[in-house]
Amino acid sequence: MTKKELIEQIRTKKSFLCVGLDPDTDKMPLHLKNSDDLIFEFNRAIIDATAPYCVSFKPNSAFYEAYGLKGVAALEKTILYIKTKYPKHFVIADAKRGDIGNTSAMYAKAFLQTMNADAITVAPYMGKDSIEPFLQYKGKWAIVLALTSNPGSSDFQMLDPGFKELYKHVITSCRSWGSDENMMFVVGATKAEWLKDIRAIIPDYFLLVPGIGAQGGSLEDVCKYGLSKDIGLLVNNSRGIIYAGTGTDFADMAAKEAKRIQIEMSNYIK
C-alpha cells in the first residue's frame, strides 16, 4: 500500500484507527472456547465488526507464537482473511524484529512476502544493516521503534549522550535510510507532548501510536501534537476494543467502541 492510498482511506473513512489483534484465549468469550480454530474465529468476528471504523489492523506476533504452530497458522490465516476481504486495510505485523542483515532479510521475507503484511515493526538497535532488508519490498513499510510508551523506555530512549536524546538520534539516522513512502515510526501515546519535537524532525512521516485506551494515552493530546498536513497518524487500540465485551455480543461491543473512537477521530480530520 502506498502512502497516497493510505491517506485516501483515512480521509474517506474519517478514521486513522488501527485495531490491534492481540488474542488471549483466557480472555475470550466462553461460547467460543469449543472452537477448533479459536484464535481465528475470534479474530474474524472482531475484524468484521470493526472494519467499517478503522483503516488498519495490527496483529502482534507474540500473541500467536505463544500457541505454537496452531497460533502461527492462525496469524497467517488472519492476515490472509484481511487481505482478501478488506484489501484496502493496512495490515501491520507487530513483530519488532531486528538482527544482522541476513537474518533481517529472512524476517522481512517471512512477514512481508510469505504472510504478505503491508508493514512490520522493527527494532533499530543493531543499526542500518538490520533495517535495510525491510525496505527492499515495493509497497511495504518498516515501522521503526522510536519512543515507546512502556515505563522502561526511559532506560535508554531518553538518554542524552551529549548532543540529543537517543530516540531523536534514532529518528534522525533512520530517516536517511528510508523515506516517508516506506518508513514509519512508533511513538507511544503516553509521550504525546514529545510529538512536537518529533514532528520537527519528521514532519511528513506517518507515526504508529499505541497507548490510547488501556495504557492511558489521550487521543486529544496525540492529535494536538502529532497531526501532520496529511494526518500522518495511525492510532492503535487493542485491548480496549477487542475485549470491550466478553459475552456473546463481544463483536458488537468491539464495534461500538471502535465507532466511538472513529467519531472522535473524525473531529480532527479537516
Q: Are 73 and 43 in contact (CB under 8 A)?
A: no
Domains and CATH numbers, the chain: 3-266 (3.20.20.70)
Instruction: Report which of 149, 134, 125 is spatially closest to residue 235, judged by C-alpha positions.
Output: 149
Taking the alpha carbons of 115, 50, 139, 124 in that order, is the dihedral positive or negative? negative
Annotated active-site residue in 83, 96, 224, 259: 96
Q: Write down the pTM of the prediction.
A: 0.94
Number of residues written out for the chain = 270
Instruction: For residue 109, indicate whether it is catalytic.
Output: no
| Residue ranges with strand state E in the chain | 17-21, 56-59, 90-97, 119-122, 141-147, 183-187, 207-209, 233-237
Per residue of the chain (270 residues), what is the pLDDT tens digit? 999 999 999 999 999 999 999 999 999 999 998 899 999 999 999 999 999 999 999 999 999 999 999 999 999 999 999 999 999 999 999 999 989 989 999 999 999 999 999 999 999 988 899 999 999 999 999 999 998 665 555 545 555 666 568 888 899 999 999 999 999 999 987 777 889 999 999 999 999 999 876 667 789 999 999 999 999 999 999 999 999 999 999 999 999 999 999 999 999 997
Instruction: Give the list of residues 6+ apart from residue 42 with CB closer than 8 angstroms, or none.
Output: 23, 28, 29, 32
